[in-house]
Amino acid sequence: MPFTSRLDRYIFRLVIVPLLGVFVLAASLLVLDQMLRLFRFVSTEGGPVGVVFRMLGALLPDYASLAIPLGLLLGTLFAFRQLALSSELDVMRAVGLSYTRLLREPYTITLTLMAINAALVFYIQPVSKYYYEELQFDLRSGALGASIKVGEFTTLADRMALRIEESEESGRELKGIFARINTQDGQTLSISAREGRFLSTSDDPDTIILRLSDGTIVQDPDGQSPRVLSFAMHDLPIDLPTIESFRQRGEAEAEYILPELLQMGWSDNASEDTRNASQASLNYRLVELAMMAFLPLLAVALAIPPKRSTSALGVFVAVVLVVAYHKINQYMQDFAALGRIDPTLGLWGPFVVFVGLILWWFWQIAYVPGGQPIGALESVFSKLVKRLGRILRPRRRRANALAEQAS
């Protein structure tokens, strides 16, 4: 990346370090929050533990698209906050550097991250969401790992119940085996063996062989006494269950890539519900992406505290605004997908309001002498705290008086 001056390199370092830190922290928290749920889900469905990391990998594009804007906002905010608190910003302004000049490198980073996020939300994320759903389906249908749960009875082909004490080599080697089989002629066989091993058959791909070693077979024919047979080795054929194939990608609008959204959103052959959902999804992704262009302006407006103040209120307000905007967009997308509101109005309306607020705050800090958005917010916050204190103080006095009377 070419730099035009030492100042640009300095601002770039100030922005990129907290940006990467916030991105890694936010993505890690989202992954850790989901990891425990996935471990529980996989263990419940009886799949291999390794699939958890494949599912987390499928979720990473979704988490990255959320962490990138947050990292951009807080990285720029922390950089200009440091410049303001160290008085470096005053020096830069005194020598004639405008805020738009100081934002040159933050906007170089912003354009790069917008391109990355566009690739994520329009192409990578839809495919990864489909892959995640496919992994869940494979686990529930038993296709993934085809594992037999240790210590529990597993029903195979509706006529066999199998229970094992130990499983080794990814389920190929079994120990402590007990099987109960209902034969086609109405007999019931109870088979126990010290160990067994799964073997494939070349003549029938829908059948596998469970080769048992050192066991007994108890035959229980109707109306006759049971017969016990011992064996050193016995091959037990098992019909593989029929596994339903997963659906094609695109049954949910979140799985459409950009060309598919444009096609389905305005297709005469698509149903009204499909058109509404596709247009809502397209506009949702666009407004989330477009807002990134204004995050550096919001960061600068909220980064600079009043003179002789080190308040971090701007950080709190910035995070609240970004999260609130994201949630509003999610709700509006849901309403638009149901046809209750026009997608353009429902999603671009909040965008215009937020952009107007951001531009007004940036105008105050950049072009109005003495303009200070954070100072005004601190004043309002201070008044609210004092008013709450006046309301709560009489209640505390009454509570203390009652406590003294009780004692």
The pLDDT tens digits of the residues spanning 252-270 come to 788 889 998 888 888 888 8
Contact between 147 and 139 (Cβ < 8 Å)? no
18 or 46: whose pLDDT is higher?
18
Contact between 191 and 179 (Cβ < 8 Å)? yes
pLDDT at 397: 63
| Percent helix, strand and coil across the chain, each to the nearest 5 | 60, 15, 25
Share of the chain above pLDDT 90, in %: 36
Q: Does pLDDT of 151 surpass 80?
A: no
Share of the chain above pLDDT 70, in %: 81
Q: How far apart are CA 156 and CA 31, in angstroms?
A: 35
Q: Residues with Cβ < 8 Å from 274, sequence gap 6 or more?
A: 253, 264, 267
pLDDT tier for residue 404 given thresholds of 50, 70 and 90 = low
pLDDT at 206: 64
Contact between 168 and 154 (Cβ < 8 Å)? no
CA angle (234, 204, 51) in 5-degree steps = 85
Q: Residues with Cβ < 8 Å from 130, sequence gap 6 or more?
A: 249, 255
Q: How far apart are CA 291 and CA 110, in angstroms?
A: 11
Contact between 198 and 210 (Cβ < 8 Å)? yes
Q: How far is CA 34 from CA 40, 43, 195, 316, in A?
A: 10, 14, 37, 25
Which tens digit of pLDDT belongs to each residue from 288-320?
999 999 999 999 999 988 776 677 788 888 999
Q: Which helix (H) or strand (E) holds 156?
A: strand 154-156
Radius of gyration of the chain from its Cα atoms, rounded to whole angstroms:
32
Structure tokens at 263: 């096609």
Q: Of 288, 283, 354, 295, which Cα lies nearest the Cα of 110?
A: 295
pLDDT tier for residue 164 given thresholds of 50, 70 and 90 = confident
Q: How far apart are CA 73 and CA 53, in angstroms?
A: 29
Q: Does pLDDT of 147 surpass 60?
A: no
pLDDT at 237: 81
pLDDT at 403: 63
Which tens digit of pLDDT belongs to each residue from 115-142?
999 999 999 999 999 888 888 777 665 5
The CA-based dihedral angle spanning residues 133, 137, 138, 143, taken in that order and rounded to the nearest 10 degrees: -160
Give bridge partners of residue 199 from the DSSP assignment.
209
Q: How far apart are CA 207 and CA 192, in angstroms?
A: 21
pLDDT at 144: 47
pLDDT at 46: 58
CA angle (273, 276, 277) in 5-degree steps = 85
Distance of CA 205 to the CA centre of its chain: 38
Q: Over range 33-37, report the average pLDDT.
A: 81
192 or 153: whose pLDDT is higher?
192
Which tens digit of pLDDT belongs to each residue from 324-377?
999 999 999 999 999 899 999 999 999 999 999 999 999 988 888 877 777 666
